[in-house]
Chain A
Amino acid sequence: MLEFLYRLFGKEEPSGKQAKERLRLVLIQDRAVLSPQLLDMLREDLIEVISKYMEIDELGLEVNLEKEKNAVALVANIPVRRVKRSVAEAAH
């Protein structure tokens, strides 16, 4: 919002704020890059949670951190084999 106002008035965002924003993004990457084990642990936990609800293809599961212009996203591609019937019933 603030960024929008700055742009509207053709004014640059104060450099202190730019510094903070750039740091926030670079640290998300640094912290993630530091431990590939962390992604593996997350992967294991995801499989465990999702398996409660559906049967998934564990080998086809992909988890990655992707950087876009001003955000870092956790992107997971999880092939579903089938939804457990008991879960579908319980939802109704």
Chain B
Amino acid sequence: MPGRVIVITSGKGGVGKTTTTANIGTGLALRGKKVCMIDADIGLRNLDVVMGLENRIVYDLVEVVEGNCKLRQALIKDKRNDNLFLLPAAQTREKDAVSPEQMKELCAQLAEEFDFVILDSPAGIEHGFRNAIAGADEAIIVTTPEVSAVRDADRIIGMLEAHELHNPQLVINRIRPDMVKRGDMMDIDDVLDILAIDLVGVIPDDQSIIVATNKGEPVVLNTRSNAGKAYANIVCKILGEDVPLFQLEHNGWVEKLRRIMPLRIPRAN
């Protein structure tokens, strides 16, 4: 049976597609699955640096498609996990160097060998996006609880539907429980109410993600980080495990104190 081909997309840029791709890919490999991640963002590649594999690139996606090298030669094995591979994007080419038909063929070929093929889509709704979704049979949409990101996610859901990619799964990234509590950020239910699609997970706005990206180590490897735990939770869901949604906690010092001491402490907000 061929593997699952999942595209990670969003419409709006900067909401965490690449981080989500790196963490879902790494998380699935940690669970023993054979995974290939494809950076479909031609001209603006970044999955390599987020994974810490930027120094190992020899060939890229465009060279594979053009037949200048074998697919095997272009796949970079992860430093930490033998099950995990990356097919990097070309940095000095245009987005139309690859066609949707070529992507379809490439994904089908990889799905023969891997349990999961995870595609990191570029932002926008143009050629690069169409390439990224061409070979996918499932989609995960990343958004943040902001009006601009949610609006673009809605547009993407419509376009996926038009391309016969049904039932996209939603990741809500960068939730800030303290702001939600004050009413200054849309909560999970607000976003689900608006977009009306299934939720696969929620990632808290967590400094450990920036630290992890600085080092080129996906945060899912850090089992003490809340964001890492949240990504591990998403991986369980993708594998079809019936786990409860990762609970975000408001970790202010007052809350911590409240848990330790049985006294009544007035709320700060």
Contacts and interface: CB of A to CB of B under 8 A. Distances in A.
B147 interface: yes
A47 to B, nearest CB: 26
B154 A16 contact: no
Q: Considering residues A19, A24, A26, A30, which has the most beta carbons from chain B within 10 angstroms of its beta carbon?
A: A19
Interface in A34-74: 34
A57 to B, nearest CB: 34
A31 interface: yes
Given A14-B184, A22-B147, 5 more contacts: A16-B184, A23-B150, A27-B151, A27-B194, A30-B155
Nearest to B187: A16
Given A23-B150, A24-B194, A14 B182 contact: yes
Contacts of B183: 14-17
B190 A16 contact: yes
Given A27-B194, A31-B158, A34-B158, A16 B151 contact: no
Contacts of A19: 145-147, 185-186, 190
**Quick one: which of A15, A16, A24 has the most chain B CB within 10 A?**
A16
A55 to B, nearest CB: 37
Interface residues of A, number: 14
Sorted from nearest, which 4 A-B pairs have the closest CB atoms?
A: A14-B183, A20-B190, A16-B186, A16-B183
Interface string B42-68: 000000000000000000000000000
Interface residues of B, number: 19
A17 B186 CA distance: 7
A15 B145 CA distance: 12
Contacts of A31: 154, 158
A17 to B, nearest CB: 7
Contacts of B146: 19
Contacts of B193: 20
Contacts of B147: 19, 22-23, 26
A17 B182 CA distance: 11
A16 B146 CA distance: 9
A34 B182 CA distance: 35
B151 A23 contact: yes
B180 A16 contact: yes
8 contacts: A14-B183, A19-B145, A19-B186, A23-B151, A27-B194, A30-B155, A31-B154, A34-B155
Contact of A23 (B179, B187, B194): B194
A26 B146 CA distance: 13
Contacts of A27: 151, 154, 194
A20 B158 contact: no
B184 A15 contact: yes
Contacts of B184: 14-16
A42 B167 CA distance: 25
Contacts of B186: 16, 19-20
A50 B184 CA distance: 46
